[in-house]
Amino acid sequence: MKPGTIVAAALLIILAALPLLTQAFDQRYLLSVGTRIVIWSIAAVSLNMILGYGGLVSFGHAAFFGIGGYAVGILSAEGIQSGWVQWPVALGASILWAALVGALSLRTRGVYFIMITLAFAQLVYYLASGLAGYGGDDGLNISRSRFSGLIDLRDKATFYWLCFALLCATLWFCGRLANSRFGYVLRGAKSNELRMMALGFPVFRYRLVACIIAGAFGGLAGILLANEGAYVSPAMMSWVKSGDLIVIVVLGGIGTLFGPLYGAIAFFALEEMLKPLLDLVHKGWGEYWQIVFGPLLVLVALYARGGMASLLKARG
Amino acid sequence: MSEPLLSTDRLVKRFGGLLATDNVTIDVRPGEIHALIGPNGAGKTTLVGQLTGNLTPDSGTIHFAGRDVTRLPADARVRLGLGRSFQITSVLREFSALENVALAMQAHDGHSFRFLADVRKNTARTDAARRGLAAVGLEPRATAAAAALSHGEQRQLEIAMALAGAPKLLLLDEPMAGMGAEESQRMVELLRGLKRQCGMLLIEHDMDAVFALADRITVLVYGRVLASGAPDAIRADPEVRQAYLGEETG
């Protein structure tokens, strides 16, 4: 087996057993970090579908956190607690949003694409801030989605395993997608868009569908994020979160299946470790953990172009 | 005379004050190599752009395979059977030679909204691509990345990609550009061998290649058709000699 496969398999096994491990070592806080890592991984994998395989640098992917989350939140606030209603509505809203943003932004290229996706995400952000009836800037406390009798999301371990299963499904789908006819068209268009058009591929249509797929999985992550904290707020879709998602994908390895997972783990692990470490050096410095994180990113950009996934490959 | 495969009728394209295509009426018949020659700036590239669908003419019409394609987007024209190669080599550099051809064939093989089946396990697809590579003599290089191929090999690969989906007509934009004498000769033979399969509109500066291959030649100068006819007639045409072939044939 290739070292990359071994590392990925080991990571998945550890993640699968995480609730048991945190219980055994009585580190319940770690389970909540783990849940967030898994949810963010779903979002990062979905961003990687368009950014990594499609070469489309979307700077507005956190909008799907918000749309998925707020769909759940608003329905919950209106008294509809059933996940059977909330989740399909949230996914439908994410798909619609992805179709709208994709249809308009895919007419632009390069830096304009980045800016227009950012602009659309900001639009949703300010819209959510303006929803005074749903908490405005302060956000909204919600109760978790109910799947009566089937699964209780209030149980931390159960919820974690649900998220983990959905991450596995997302990874499975993304892996199949990457090597499907569709995936090859998407990757071909990243390599040479004009050539693909000259070959007879309506590239725009394929990219739009890719955006919609990525948006649906992004929305799924949003649903889970809202349920994780029992809370939604505009902050979950600020442009900083969109940037974090890009950082995770780049750090882990653009266009690799497990890269986004590595990136998410590294991102949150560094955040959790650097904060107390810096606080140890000097009280209060922990808040500025990104001063250390930033240069680390620069090193990755300079010396590990393919991200963490490429390091594993190089060893083999 | 058989029905032309591709024909334009009084095509006009302006860029500001510049008349880049000035009432151009040309046609290509099935199984024919029609060469388009002319000095730099004669409007050859602009004309090709309109034929492929990358540029929209200001007036005039383009018919291909019995259809008015004047307003049809480039990718739809390709699917109708209008293959093309690029003046500047354009391949998918990160993909293998085989995968370049396989993708070119995939474009003609129904839609690609299939998300789960692994293309690498599709042996029919791979075999077809391998035959495509063999047709241009590139089969030994099948697994090499397109970026690692020599210039001549990349041009061959382009032809293999243009031939995918069995086009009715090939638009060849300077296929010999940047080639050495030996590579050019190989390309001439390759194109001659393909003649029975499809018609070709050949834009080329290499006059040896043009006269070796063309059934008809059209001379474009300042966006206008200066002369059109059999190679011998073009060679003898005093206007053409003066305007274009002048310094070469004395």
Q: What digits encode the pLDDT tens for the residues B153-184?
A: 999 999 999 988 789 999 999 888 888 888 88
Average pLDDT over residues A307-312: 84
Number of CB pairs, chain A paired with chain B, less than 8 A apart: 91
CB atoms under 10 Å from CB of B62, counted, come to 22
Chain CA centroid to CA A158, Å: 21
B1 in any annotated domain: no
Partnered with residue B216 across adjacent β-strands are: B34
CB contact (8 A) between residue B119 and residue A180: yes
Nearest chain A residue to B85 by CA: give it.
A198
Kindly report the nearest CA distance between residue B179 and chain A, in angstroms.
Answer: 21
Partnered with residue A232 across adjacent β-strands are: A140
Rounded CA gap, A218 and A71, in Å? 13
Question: B188 is in which domain, residue-wise?
Answer: 6-249
What's the confidence (pLDDT) of residue B15? 92
Kindly report the nearest CA distance between residue A77 and chain B, in angstroms.
Answer: 37
Partnered with residue B224 across adjacent β-strands are: B221
Average pLDDT over residues A251-280: 92
Number of domains in chain B: 1
Average pLDDT, chain A: 93
Segment A280-288 long-range contacts (CB within 8 Å, at least 24 positions apart): none
Q: What digits encode the pLDDT tens for the residues A245-256?
A: 999 999 999 999
Rounded CA gap, A205 and A91, in Å? 20
- Indicate the residue of B74, B113, B165 with minimum beta-carbon distance to A182: B113
At B86, the pLDDT band (50, 70, 90 cuts) reads confident
Average pLDDT over residues A29-55: 96
Strands B6-15, B59-64: pairing is: antiparallel
DSSP conformation class of A138 = G
Set of chain A residues whose Cβ sits within 8 Å of the Cβ of B79:
200
Nearest chain B residue to A193 by CA: give it.
B92
B54 in any annotated domain: yes
Set of chain A residues whose Cβ sits within 8 Å of the Cβ of B93:
191-192
CATH number at residue B15: 3.40.50.300
Q: Which of A34-38, B40-44, B204-208 has the highest mean pLDDT?
A: A34-38
What's the confidence (pLDDT) of residue B1? 53
Strands B6-15, B18-24: pairing is: antiparallel
CB contact (8 A) between residue B119 and residue A177: no
Nearest chain A residue to B74 by CA: give it.
A198
- Residue B250, pLDDT > 60, answer no
Amino acid letter, A61:
H
Nearest chain A residue to B81 by CA: give it.
A200
**Reported ipTM:** 0.86
Q: Yes or no: say if B132 and B143 are a contact pair by the CB < 8 Å rule.
A: no
At A315, the pLDDT band (50, 70, 90 cuts) reads very low
Q: If DSSP codes are grouped into helix, strand and coil, which group holds residue A238? A: coil
- Residue B62, pLDDT > 60, answer yes
Task: Determine contact: B166 vs chain A, CB below 8 A.
Answer: no
What's the confidence (pLDDT) of residue B245? 60
What's the confidence (pLDDT) of residue A251? 92
Kindly report the nearest CA distance between residue A202 and chain B, in angstroms.
Answer: 6
Average pLDDT over residues A216-220: 98
Kindly report the nearest CA distance between residue A129 and chain B, in angstroms.
Answer: 37
At B243, the pLDDT band (50, 70, 90 cuts) reads confident
Task: Give Dmax over CA atoms of chain A in angstroms.
Answer: 61
Query: What tokens were used for A263?
Result: 């990136």
Q: What digits encode the pLDDT tens for the residues A92-135?
A: 999 999 999 999 999 999 999 999 999 999 999 999 999 999 99
Domains within chain A, CATH numbers bracketed: 3-315 (1.10.3470)
